[in-house]
Structure 1
């Protein structure tokens, strides 16, 4: 009996020591770990550049200055116009580019360690339309090298089994009397049956959102395939169609006077469902304006300012990054179709190219 009592007393004593040790350990851990405090008293102030009584939505520059106040904050995340910006200072400047007057929501998250605080506000901003790129083709000779580069060769059919060899020769691409002329010629050249040209602004100019337009007269002949289109700047890193493609104008001589506008993206390459057509009975005999107005919400396609197709854009598409401009004149291929055996040559004539913010 005595032995059992001693054992019981020893066990109880051990339990008391363990309890005291754990309590001390817990107390020490709490003291050593700093408390994480969420940012407090958060506010977001928006100053519109050029705002006056007469111009309450700004001077048309589309610029705003953001001032974030949040005690204890170490970093911030700003969601604005379908973009997310991560910053470490409380001052932030942003420029809207879509023309017109529009209301935008601004969401701000302030972080301190693992905790955060949210706040949101909105702003009405006016953006004046500005010309950010143009070529009026008013200097005779080769296209302006400060604005245009070339794709040359066959490009293994450029992914479409096309028949032409693209060159830099004046026989195929030249500016004359205020008009850019891209000429497709039936001739044996470097193993190809036809020659033509493809010029692009890659590495010289690209843009995100705005209006792109040309004034052009289209070529004739079965198998002709002129185009005016945009391609994503990140082509080399993500490939096609992940980079996105916006075809503002395509037309084929085998189906004359039908204007196609299309968009290509992952899962929607080749015969994309994102496409529409309109007719233009004088496309080969008169100059017409072919345009796209592109925003985070939509891409709208026009012929002579007549809207014929609206694509609903969203944050999940590739159409929210910078794109460059391409002008080309292909022959045959998957879209151009069979070339008329009597075809000799024809010319795609462009009066100007203009891009607005």
Structure 2
């Protein structure tokens, strides 16, 4: 018996296929008049030995294929395996392609200073277009030195609470970070139930944090009961040019693991379990804070800096 497989879209750049998950099989055996193929719990039949199958498990996975060739009541069997890539399905995204205010269907605002947001931060968050706007295909969140409502700095804190949340999947956020001593940009998530159980019981997933006083050091952190504040679970990675070039900050979140990446480079894996708060819907937050417990000393010469976000994409 001869079993051939052709992974659709396979190339030198994509050795496991183009993400469609489709594999074409050709089976031949001397004098055979029919064929059966077993893939997982599914059985396919053919009189020609030609099969096409779409693998639906996201990611790159190896699959065992069992084949039988029949002539009357006689048959022979064989086995092969294929490794194929199935791209996840995009659940939600904001590509920031419409100029003006951020899409109100996706984003709301936290405003004010709220007693330093629990971290002694010195900025005042506004919902003004000066602090958050879309232009030329990116969202700009702008931290400014200016007198406003009794504070010396303004910024924006956008959140998808009440507009979009999800449980499990992959998140890719392509962003360029602000520069300057005291700046503290963050791309992060909170549990939907924060209004009822509070923090840290709701859980917090910090996909990316950076502080201007520790240039190019990216933090990925989880906060939950017993591991909140400075006692969070996480790790760091040093990436060049975070304030001058775009990088992709990613999260891969499942019931068993939460993984953090920059430019597809894995730098932290956390063991999730049913006892933790990371098994419910979470919403996004994007902001730039200034100073405070984590941002640290503010450069007195700071005037303005911007975080640009090219896209937020969620796959499942």
TM-score range, shorter chain: 0.7 to 0.9
Contact 2:222/2:234 (<8 A) preserved: yes
The aligned counterpart of 1:279 is 238
Task: Identify unmatched segments of 5+ residues in structure 1.
Answer: 1-49, 63-97, 104-125
Find the aligned partners of 1:51 and 1:276 in 2 and give their Cα distance: 42
Aligned match of 1:156 in 115, 122, 147? 115
The aligned counterpart of 1:66 is none
Q: Does 1:258 align with 2:258?
A: no
Q: Does 1:303 align with 2:272?
A: no
Alignment of 1:5-16 (within 5 A): none
Find the aligned partners of 1:225 and 1:52 in 2 and give their Cα distance: 55
> Which structure has the larger Rg over C-alpha atoms?
1
TM-score scaled by length of structure 1: 0.66
Q: Structure 1 residues 350 and 215, CA, compared in 2 at 3 Å: closer, same or farther?
A: same
Name the SS for the 1:143 alignment partner: coil
Q: Does 1:210 align with 2:169?
A: yes
Q: Structure 1 residues 187 and 207, CA, compared in 2 at 3 Å: closer, same or farther?
A: same
Q: CA deviation at 1:59?
A: 6.5
Alignment of 1:1-357 (within 5 A): 53=44, 60=56, 129-357=88-316
Q: Structure 1 residues 52 and 327, CA, compared in 2 at 3 Å: closer, same or farther?
A: farther
Name the SS for the 1:271 alignment partner: helix
Q: CA deviation at 1:285?
A: 1.0
Summarize deviations over 1:61-105 as a string: whole Å, max 9, x none: x8xxxxxxxxxxxxxxxxxxxxxxxxxxxxxxxxxxx767699xx
Summarize deviations over 1:130-165 as a string: whole Å, max 9, x none: 111101100000000111111111121111111111
Q: Structure 1 residues 323 and 100, CA, compared in 2 at 3 Å: closer, same or farther?
A: farther
- More helix per residue: 1 or 2? 1
Task: Identify unmatched segments of 5+ residues in structure 2.
Answer: 1-40, 45-50, 64-84
Name the SS for the 1:254 alignment partner: helix
Q: CA deviation at 1:192?
A: 1.2
TM-score scaled by length of structure 2: 0.75
Find the aligned partners of 1:327 and 1:301 in 2 and give their Cα distance: 17
Summarize deviations over 1:156-180 as a string: whole Å, max 9, x none: 1111111111111111000010010
Q: CA deviation at 1:314?
A: 0.8
Contact 1:99/1:210 (<8 A) preserved: no
| Aligned-residue RMSD, C-alpha | 2.2
Bigger Cα displacement from structure 2, 333-342 vs 272-281: 272-281
Name the SS for the 2:184 alignment partner: strand
Which contiguous aligned blocks of 4+ residues in structure 1 show a shift greater than 6 angstroms? 100-103
Contact 1:140/1:176 (<8 A) preserved: yes
Find the aligned partners of 2:165 and 2:60 in 1 and give their Cα distance: 21
Contact 2:224/2:232 (<8 A) preserved: no
Count of aligned pairs between the two proteins: 250
Find the aligned partners of 2:137 and 2:160 in 1 and give their Cα distance: 19
